[in-house]
Amino acid sequence: MPKIVDHEERKEKLAEATWRVIRREGMERASVRTIAMEAGISAGSMRHYFSTQSELLAFSMKLVSDRVKARIRSSEFSGNPLEDIQRIIYEILPVDEERSAEMEVWLSFTAKALVDPALQSLSNEVYDELRATIAHCIDFLIDSGLARPELNREIESERLYALVDGLAMHAVMQPGRATPDVLKSVVLHHLEALCQ
């Protein structure tokens, strides 16, 4: 009896192999052959799951975003707006090994998206989702009555979005300096400054 293969699970394993290659060797070495070798399958077998390298990279890129969203959806919230907003932001920031790996490959994907139209629309979509998530956090502060009365929703949403994005970049580029404790302290300090 032939073995039943879960195609979605196999595609995720191939995406994870793609992430490992990108982290270890860079985006320029993330060829179908190198990724297949990392995954322990033949390059020809890859065609059963992805018809092109762009399709593989797009799936791998989207998987990063999907996993972050799944963690946020499955989070248990306390009902304390400041704690809950921090919990959401910490699911995005590289505050542990899993999130650091995701952020490293995400930044590689976004750099590639500058020259690859197949990845560019996905990159824009994910950044729009991030911006919307951050705007919801600011709305949550305002709706809970914790925000300063004069707080400008649009400006503060954009400012928190830029802060989170910048902290993520710093954590990947200078992990010894932008440690998880530093990231968490900066986020908490910023959120407290938005409150009355």
What integer is the mean pLDDT of 42-54?
88
Query: Given the structure tokens 């998987």, which residue do they identify?
Result: 63
What integer is the mean pLDDT of 4-31?
90
Residue 86 · residue 137 · CB < 8 Å: no
Which pTM does this prediction carry?
A: 0.87
Give the DSSP H or E segment for 57.
helix 53-74
Mean predicted lDDT score pLDDT of the chain: 93
Q: How many alpha carbons lie under 13 Å from residue 22 in its C-beta half-sphere?
A: 23
**Is residue 164 classed exposed, middle or buried when 0-12, 13-18 and 19+ CB atoms within 10 A define those classes?**
buried
Q: Residue 64: pLDDT above 90?
A: yes
Q: Residue 151: pLDDT above 70?
A: yes
